[in-house]
Amino acid sequence: MSTQSASQLLISPSMDEQPESQSRLMRRLHRGNAIATSVLWLITMLVAAVFIAIILNLIWTGLPTLFSVNFYGTGPSGIAPELFNTFYILILTEIFLFPISLGAAIYLAEYAHQGRLTTIIHFAAETLAGVPSLVLGMFGFLVFSSDAHLSISRIAGALTLLCLNFPLALRLFEDALNRVPLDLREGSLALGATRWRTIRTIVLPSALPGLITGLILTAGKIIGEAAALLFTMGLFNPANVFTLDPTLASDTLTTRLYYIKGVGAGATGLNSVQETALAAGISAILIVLLLLINLAARVIGRLVQRKLTAA
């Protein structure tokens, strides 16, 4: 008897001092607990299995295409222009996005007092984050492409992506700045440095790993975005696609994928088997890019931890 656990003793019917009804309640509760626990296990395993199956399926079906040489060429089944455009638009967007959202984050984290203005800015950020990317794409078409006469171009696409990713970048950067311990700032200010000098020499260097993580995570969003680019960057490439001209219309990996399988199916100059192989290849390369981005963000995130625990 001594090896039995307390709960087994409690529900054991042989115990005389336990009334029958109480032990039945115990048994019911433990049965409920066991059922609920196994249901939760099942649900989680189901969700995880679906996630894993999808990622593996995408990589597996795209693998043959990933290893063919034509895939990286400029022909109808090549993605060289789209790969170039994707990284071009990524860098062009970050050139706008990083300084502006970092500036806004610095204002919120370092200057602003908790008050009406910060509430309004946070509300604006949440609202903008909730605007569907398709609607932001239409807004970009109206404002940047039409009203600002940028037409359908990379710069119009980059400005639209700036609006789309501003709230996310702001949140990530604000979190990174808020993780810098307060006493570092106080020490600098007590030594007579101005606020700007404190930010420049103390806060930003300490927050650097967090800022880089934020930069990488927004890069993942930019690479994966398609709906906002449909009307601002178009679905086609000009002949001189490998130039840095920001006024060119161009497609990216994601919009190309949408074109192949959506509006342009049958019009790509490929047969449907080739189209499917190309689509599988683009999907796989997007997933691989995503995995690399995630890995990079994780490695740098670990650096933050080491830095903070060392400080």
Q: Exposed/middle/buried for 125, CB within 10 Å: 0-12, 13-18, 19+?
A: buried
Q: How far is the CB of 201 from other proteins (least distance, A)?
A: 12
Q: Specify the length of the chain in residues.
A: 311
Q: How far is the CB of 70 from other proteins (least distance, A)?
A: 20
Q: Exposed/middle/buried for 1, CB within 10 Å: 0-12, 13-18, 19+?
A: exposed
> Interacting stretch for other proteins, rule CB under 8 A, among 15-23, 180-188, 243-251, 291-299?
291-299
117 SS3 class: helix
Sign of CA dihedral 88, 89, 95, 99: negative
Task: Quote the CA–CA distance of 148 and 141 in Å, as a whole number.
Answer: 10
Helix/strand/coil (H/E/C) assignment for every residue in 9-41: HHHCCCCCCCCHHHHHHHHHHHHHHHHHHHHHH
- Residue count, binding to other proteins (CB under 8 A): 88
Residue 161 as a binder of other proteins (CB under 8 A): the answer is no
Q: How far is the CB of 245 from other proteins (least distance, A)?
A: 22
Interface with other proteins in residues 35-94 (CB under 8 A): 36-37, 39-41, 43-44, 46-48, 50-52, 54-55, 57-58
Q: How far is the CB of 240 from other proteins (least distance, A)?
A: 23
Closest CB to other proteins among residues 242, 306: 306
Residue 271 as a binder of other proteins (CB under 8 A): the answer is no
Residue 11 as a binder of other proteins (CB under 8 A): the answer is no
Q: How far is the CB of 72 from other proteins (least distance, A)?
A: 19
Among 87, 98, 139, 236, binds other proteins (CB under 8 A): 139
